Amino acid sequence: MKKKVFGRKLSRDRGSREALFRSLIKALILHGSINTTKAKAKAIQSDVDKLVTLAKKGDMSARRRVYAILANDKASIKKLFGEISEAFINKIGGFTRIINLPRRRGDLAEVARLEWSRKIVISDKQKVTSKKGKIDEKRSLKENVQSREKSKIKREKTVI
């Protein structure tokens, strides 16, 4: 019997374990599903269910508790209190499910997918742009400006 044992340590100290759980929960909220080891999925499943229950309440006290757990990540909290809480408004529990996947090739670890038990309608996806993508956008803007200037010059020549 496991008496006075809180959960899974996952070979980490308290701070790194909390950081791991926080990052896994944020990834699940933002992306809808995550592939991780079975032990990590089981460890955060109850935490995710508690967060969804708090989000369903929707009052200021619940919002502050979720902010404290997710370290003021506004994007994930907005999505949790918006789309996710609306999807599970009539459901009491069992907000997530664990689907077993084939073992990982490198170390044969048991891998599982943790996902929402219902389909979540995503209104808008976050745009992740790299520095290279921004440079490409600037180049395309410069090319557009240059092509406009050339067309203006051609128009002026034809008018004269």
Task: Give me the chain's average pLDDT, please.
Answer: 85
Alpha carbon distance 63, 49 (integer Å) = 15
Q: What is the pLDDT of residues 56-80, one digit of tens each?
A: 999 999 999 999 999 888 999 999 9
Higher-confidence residue of 90 and 145: namely 90
- What pLDDT is stored for residue 121 in this prediction? 74
Is the pLDDT reported for residue 127 higher than 60?
A: no
- What pLDDT is stored for residue 133 in this prediction? 59
> The domain 14-121: what is its CATH number?
3.90.1030.10
Residues 6+ apart with CB under 8 A from 93: 49, 53
Token pair 């899974």: residue: 8
Sheet (strand 96-101) strand order: 33-37, 111-116, 96-101
Alpha carbon distance 108, 79 (integer Å) = 34
- What pLDDT is stored for residue 48 in this prediction? 96
Query: Directed axis angle between helix 38-57 and helix 60-70, to 10°?
Result: 150
